[in-house]
Amino acid sequence: MRAAYASAFDADNPLAALAVGDRPEPTHPQDDWVTVRVRASSLNHHDLWSLRGVGLTADQLPMILGCDAVGTDPDGNEMVLYPVVPTPGDPRGVSILSEHYQGTFAELVAVPRTNLLPLPDGLSATDAACLPTAWLTAWRMLTTKGRVADGESVLVQGAGGGVATAAVALAVALGKRVYATSRDAAKRERIAELGATALEPGARLPERVDVVIETVGAATFDHSLKSAAPMARIVVSGATAGHEPTVNLRRVFAMQLEILGTSMGTPDELAELLAFCAEHGVRPVVDRVVPFSRIDEAFARLHSGDVFGKVVVDHTA
């Protein structure tokens, strides 16, 4: 079957490590696994980290990339894939598709049957394929971890990314006051259209916020600390611009801040998110939809850093 996979690692030029070609059809490590025919998938920064050799070892290559997908199960039902899979031997006890088990950038992918959730009415396959990683992460950051309450405000750093655009769209739909930073004037304009007050990185906010959504890391973390209200929650799920920021601990204890790490979400949180989007008419911010035959262009687009929202792959094209 056709697939896009990591054939090698390249820390400097991850696109050089991407291969597109034939791979064997999936096998089932356990009896309760099923094979799904993929209809749509979406890219995450995780796919670029994998090509750089972060989170994978050479003995795991070749590895089909891709965490997110919507596809058809063996009974012909349209399903959304929950990408976190029990993984004995992994220190986390779980892994994300494309780490230990082959990923979704293929004609077929295998997952435990319990990882399949019905595609809600009204959500297209290409929209729903954006939700299982970036949007699920943003949902958990705002709700379970950030505990964003009525009347509270949210700051989202690095407004163009998949998690960041999700956090803005969801926080606006939840009725919060939302601020978002971006280095790029065009992205600030677009994030404002989603309902956020757009700011340059490091700018003083009109108020201190209760929840900060951090995926940028070293480049923005000090601003996140300075922008946080007393008792605020700074929720971290990524560090695209460096994972070793300087942290002013005086501010952490004096303002009684909580710095919370998080990864992905639970199947119940994905079900909640799907229902929330279907019910409230919230749709993912899609940078572009690319046919599978041009998946290398989708990777180049994500790598360029110019994206606004999710890069989606249509496997039927």
Ligand X SMILES: NC(=O)c1ccc[n+]([C@@H]2O[C@H](COP(=O)([O-])OP(=O)(O)OC[C@H]3O[C@@H](n4cnc5c(N)ncnc54)[C@H](OP(=O)(O)O)[C@@H]3O)[C@@H](O)[C@H]2O)c1
Query: Which residues lie near ligand X (CB under 6 A)?
Result: 44-46, 49, 133-134, 137, 158-164, 182-184, 187, 201, 215-216, 219-220, 237-241, 263-264
Q: Which of 43, 64, 63, 48 is nearest to 16 (CA)?
A: 48
The residue number whose beta carbon is nearest to ligand X equals 238
DSSP 107-176: SEEEEEGGGEEEPPTT--HHHHTTIIIIIHHHHHIIIIIT---TT-EEEESSTTSHHHHHHHHHHHHTT-
Nearer to ligand X, 243 or 251 (CB): 243
CB 221 within 8 A of CB 214: yes
CB 159 within 8 A of CB 198: yes
Q: Which of 279, 304, 291, 273 is nearest to 133 (CA)?
A: 273
- CA–CA separation, 154 and 194 (whole Å): 14
Nearer to ligand X, 39 or 223 (CB): 223
- According to DSSP, residue 106 is labeled B
Nearer to ligand X, 210 or 214 (CB): 214
Q: Determine the 3-state secondary structure of 17 from DSSP.
A: helix
Nearer to ligand X, 71 or 83 (CB): 83
Nearer to ligand X, 53 or 72 (CB): 53
Sheet with 18-22, edge to edge strand ranges:
18-22, 2-6, 63-64
Nearer to ligand X, 236 or 277 (CB): 236
Q: Who contacts 276 (Cβ-Cβ below 8 Å, separation ≥6)? A: 139, 170, 173, 282
Structure tokens given for 195: 């309902």
Minimal distance, residue 35 CB to ligand X, in Å: 25
- According to DSSP, residue 293 is labeled G
Minimal distance, residue 16 CB to ligand X, in Å: 19
Nearer to ligand X, 71 or 161 (CB): 161
- According to DSSP, residue 71 is labeled E
Minimal distance, residue 169 CB to ligand X, in Å: 13
